[in-house]
Amino acid sequence: MALTTSSLGNVEMETVWQVASPEPGEVGDTVVVEIDGKPVETRRGTRIAAVLLAQGATAFRHSPVSGKPRSAFCMMGVCFECLVEIDGCPNRQACLEYAEDSMQIRRQLCLPGGSYEA
């Protein structure tokens, strides 16, 4: 299915949902994603937050203000505590993104002052 755009050039959200979402009950094949540079096998269509939690990640990001660790809380796109970088794009909600093969996921573990904690 091709993406369609509105007259303002924005991708229609309903179309994005149809392209990105596996069918309900669909079991995806095995894919390999990379989390902070480490390859991880998972099933296509698994939410990225679930992949991170299954790998034992206790922090998805650090608060840029306090430096305190944050992790998925609501798992439904409301709290924005699960932000990660996906394929070079920062601040993506891990609980709303589906695993695809070769996806590059990086936790946003930047501490105030700019240092990075892996």
Pairing of strands 104-107, 30-35: parallel
Regarding 93 and contact with ligand FES (CB under 6 A), the answer is yes
Residue where the block lists tokens 């501490």: 111
Helix-then-strand count for the chain, H and E: 2, 7
Task: Report DSSP state, residue 47.
Answer: B
Number of residues that bind ligand FES (CB under 6 A): 13
Residues 26-65, mask of contacts with ligand FES (x by CB under 6 A): -----------------------x----------------
Nearest distance in Å: CB 4, ligand FES:
26
Regarding 78 and contact with ligand FES (CB under 6 A), the answer is yes
Nearest distance in Å: CB 50, ligand FES:
11
Considering only CA atoms, which of 52, 36, 38 is closest in space to residue 99?
52
Residue (33 or 83) nearer to ligand FES, CB? 83
Number of Cβ within 10 Å of residue 33's Cβ equals: 22
